[in-house]
């Protein structure tokens, strides 16, 4: 046996060892859809697929971050033990307690009564309200965002924080290290010079304690002002036209009441994870007489369950008459896809509202691959035309609304840190219904027969994009 033949046998053996190792390892580390995609990739190109899987295949998080999240969660549970009078319990003949109980089990936050929730769906209106609230702040301003750009909105927020700090207001700003890179580059130094505490989230680096999967991101958008006002939603600190050709439409909840405590706790937990500092949260003012029961749901790779996915599936399963889901990115896992099909086939009116335009080409093609099977099951799909619909919300019957940063895709469910606000109130659902109706007036409802007339090559591209987008 010559050297070349010997080398060939070794490469053949190594090639199959990689395939067998992947077959034994990947299915127990990934969800089924992702596992199938990774096994196909490793099966076809082992020497390329295996390193890529080791780098991107599992949402591994640094030990220090997991420990700090566990500490933050325990602090949240301890603090809520003394707030029993604020707990909301559904009426005996009202909504079953399964959803609020599930949300508490997943994210540690209990449902609280006595809140006021204002739904803001006009881009400039919500930005103007935020700046006005910062300008009226007397004690502290805490902001946590995924994106901040060096544009008219970013500069306006920076100037508002500088004004607040000059008045003696304690200002803290958490920004994702990747998503908000333009804002950090432009504003971090002048803000710090003005006395604002600025930190980048998931910055990475070469220290072992900061090593995590590099594409994990903090996608939350949260605001806390004077422990009195909170913001939760989809809107970033950027102008509506920050992606050329795709002007954004967003939705934000501005809240008062006890649930603001939960927004404060969530900000404090992320501050602890990033800085190691425990924030001392002061006294909260008395409620303003609101009547909306609400609770926060955090999610992310530091939690033991896929909180966002599990809650969305439970809400879809809970619907009896109508469920409306609004998301800019729709790449569901098998469980979410199955829940939508079963709900529609069971007679529930399932309406999915997506954006006609999309700034993520791969996702745009991938989500198209799901339309046929959903339309066949009876799910209605509408494509909103005037803007890039970046809002993320869900409404169930007349009972439950979910507003936040959660997309209906695998990345949002498994990789990103997200935050959602659950509201158990018919008036809030009614407000969302009005917004949804406005979307539908400017949307194209897909027809199954028309959809199946699309070019055959579209289906091939959609299938390949679906496989590629499943890789986590």
pLDDT tens digits, 259-279: 999 999 999 999 999 999 999
321, 294 in Cβ contact below 8 A?
no
> How far, in Å, are 135, 148, 155 from residue 287 at the CA level?
22, 31, 33
Q: 395 and 443 share a domain?
A: yes
In angstroms, rounded to a whole number, what is the distance separating the alpha carbons of residues 340 and 379?
7
Domain boundary (11, 37, 56) is at 56
Answer yes or no: do 189 and 133 share one domain.
Answer: yes
Question: Is the residue at 299 inside a domain?
Answer: no
Q: Which of 293, 321, 338 is the last residue of a domain?
A: 293
- Considering the domain boundaries, does residue 274 fall inside one? yes
Identify whether 99 is part of a domain.
Answer: no
- The answer to whether 324 and 394 have CB atoms below 8 angstroms apart is yes
In a domain, 107, yes or no: no
Q: Decide if 367 contacts 381 (C-beta within 8 A).
A: no
- Verify that 255 and 352 share a domain, yes or no: no
- At CA 269, angle to CA 266 and CA 274, rounded to 5? 130
| pLDDT of 208 higher than 50 | no
Same domain, 129 and 209: yes
Measured CA to CA, the distance from residue 193 to residue 285 in angstroms comes to: 31
What is the number of structural domains in the chain? Answer: 3
Residue 239 backbone phi and psi in degrees, to 5: -65, 155
Distance between CA atoms of residues 325 and 60, nearest Å: 29
Shared-domain flag, residues 208 and 167: yes
Q: Based on the fold, state whether residues 236 and 276 are members of the same structural domain.
A: yes
Q: What is the mean pLDDT of residues 86-105?
A: 87
Q: Is the residue at 100 inside a domain?
A: no
Percent of the chain with pLDDT over 90: 66
Read off the pTM.
0.91
Do 255 and 127 share a domain, yes or no? yes
Least confident segment among 390-399, 445-454, 456-465? 456-465
Query: Would the pLDDT of 171 be above 70?
Result: yes
Task: Look at residue 38 and tell me if it is in a domain.
Answer: yes
CA 238, 239, 245, 250 torsion-angle sign: positive
Residues 320/124, Cβ–Cβ less than 8 Å = no
pLDDT tens-digit series, residues 6-52: 666 676 676 677 777 767 766 766 666 667 776 777 777 776 666 77
In the listed set 293, 317, 333, which residue is the last one of a domain according to the structure?
293
Residues 271, 320: one domain?
A: no
Same domain, 12 and 119: no
Q: Distance between the two ends of the chain, CA-based, in angstroms?
A: 43
Cα–Cα distance measured from residue 406 to residue 399, given in angstroms and rounded to the nearest whole number: 19
**Structural domain span for residue 37:** 3-56
pLDDT 10s digits, 335-352: 999 999 999 999 999 999
Domain-embedded: residue 356:
yes
CATH number for the domain harbouring residue 124: 3.30.870.10
Distance, in Å, from the CA atom of 2 to the CA atom of 131, rounded to the nearest integer, reads 76
319 and 412 both lie in a single domain: yes
Dihedral (CA of 24, 26, 31, 34) sign: negative
Examine the domain organization and report whether 35 and 78 are in the same domain.
no
Q: Output the average pLDDT for the chain.
A: 89
- The reply to whether 98 falls in a domain is no
Q: Say whether both 278 and 391 belong to one domain.
A: no
Above 50 in pLDDT, residue 209?
no
Distance, in Å, from the CA atom of 65 to the CA atom of 213, rounded to the nearest integer, reads 12
d(CA 296, CA 266): 9
In 3-state terms, what secondary structure has residue 32? helix
CA-CA distance, 354 to 383, in Å (whole number)?
Answer: 5
Give yes or no for a contact between 250 and 233, defined as CB atoms under 8 angstroms apart. yes
Question: Angle of helix 46-56 relative to helix 3-25, nearest 10 degrees?
Answer: 40
Task: Tokens for 12, please give them.
Answer: 């053949």
């Amino acid at each position: 046996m010559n050297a070349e033949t010997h080398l060939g046998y070794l490469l053949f053996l190594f090639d199959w060892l990689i395939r067998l190792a992947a077959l034994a390892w990947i299915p127990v580390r990934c969800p089924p859809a992702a596992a199938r995609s990774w096994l196909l990739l490793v099966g076809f190109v082992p020497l390329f697929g295996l390193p890529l899987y080791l780098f991107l295949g599992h949402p591994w998080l640094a030990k220090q971050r997991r420990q700090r999240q566990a500490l933050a969660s325990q602090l949240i549970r301890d603090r809520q033990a003394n707030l029993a009078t604020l707990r909301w319990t559904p009426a005996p003949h009202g909504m079953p307690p399964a959803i609020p109980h599930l949300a508490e089990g997943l994210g540690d936050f209990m449902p609280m009564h006595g809140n006021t929730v204002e739904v803001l769906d006009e881009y400039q209106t919500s930005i103007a309200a935020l700046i006005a609230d910062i300008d009226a702040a007397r004690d502290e301003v805490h902001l946590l965002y995924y994106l901040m750009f060096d544009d008219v909105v970013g500069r306006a927020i920076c100037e508002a924080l500088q004004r607040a700090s000059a008045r003696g207001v304690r200002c803290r700003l958490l920004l994702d290290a990747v998503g908000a890179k333009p804002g950090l580059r432009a504003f971090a130094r002048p803000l710090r010079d003005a006395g604002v505490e600025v930190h980048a989230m998931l910055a990475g680096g070469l220290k072992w304690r900061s090593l995590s999967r590099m594409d994990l991101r903090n996608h939350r958008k949260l605001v806390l002002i004077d422990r009195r006002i909170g913001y939760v939603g989809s809107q970033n600190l950027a102008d509506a036209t920050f992606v050329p050709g795709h002007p954004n439409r967003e939705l934000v909840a501005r809240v008062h009441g006890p649930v603001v405590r939960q927004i404060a706790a969530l900000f404090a937990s992320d501050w602890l994870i990033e800085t190691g500092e425990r924030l001392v949260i002061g006294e909260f003012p008395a409620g303003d007489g609101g009547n909306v029961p609400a609770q926060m749901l955090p999610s992310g790779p530091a939690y033991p369950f896929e909180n966002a996915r599990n809650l969305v599936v439970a809400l879809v399963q809970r619907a009896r008459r109508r469920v409306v889901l609004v998301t800019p990115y729709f790449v569901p896992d098998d469980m979410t896809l199955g829940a939508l099909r079963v709900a529609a086939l069971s007679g529930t009116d399932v309406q999915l509202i997506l954006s006609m335009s999309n700034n993520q080409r791969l996702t745009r093609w991938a989500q198209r691959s799901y339309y046929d099977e959903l339309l066949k099951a009876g799910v209605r799909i509408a494509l909103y035309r005037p803007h890039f619909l970046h809002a993320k919300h869900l409404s169930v019957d007349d009972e439950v609304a979910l507003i936040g940063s959660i997309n209906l895709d695998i990345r949002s469910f498994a990789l990103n840190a997200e935050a959602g606000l659950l509201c158990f109130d018919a008036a809030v659902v009614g407000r969302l219904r009005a917004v949804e109706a406005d979307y539908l007036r400017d949307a194209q409802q897909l027809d199954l027969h028309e959809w199946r007339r699309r070019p055959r090559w579209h289906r091939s591209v959609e299938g390949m994009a679906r496989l590629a987008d499943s890789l986590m």
